Structure 1
């Protein structure tokens, strides 16, 4: 069974103008990391491993507070088992004005 190794997340530009995002990652419907406060041009270690079968859907969100303000979906990266053994990869999350890079590997 392939394993997704989530290494780190780098934020070039947050979705929240004028303040940090409260970032978290969901893989195949399960939150695996976060919530972590992150600002422009900052990185955070993730250091999580997730088993999957043929593909893994990684979603990045910015947590919002308040009854009427849903969490912002910042993008989705889909990883396949065919990426096993190809070394470190990068996935981009650029929805809603954000710009993040996720560093990961499939082993």
Structure 2
């Protein structure tokens, strides 16, 4: 039984390391690694300003997604007029990739 608990704990820990995205709490100042900086041309603050121009409101979550062979993307969750919006910003160019209201069709691509 003890071996089972250790194995399960190791598997959970490994899965968290491998699959957990780079998440920054909107209220905290998250540090970006050098590798992540190499994948981005704009800062998280610049991307947030771009996202807030698209959807003025309160940012509740920020994620920097970096996947192999795909462009780095900042993902923002913004609460505006009582509704949840998701905004994707290209981390290299600052282009707005997508704006979406929760449970609705895509607004801009």
TM-score (norm 1): 0.32
The structure with the greater share of residues assigned to strand is 1
Instruction: With the length of structure 2 as denominator, give the TM-score of the two structures.
Output: 0.32
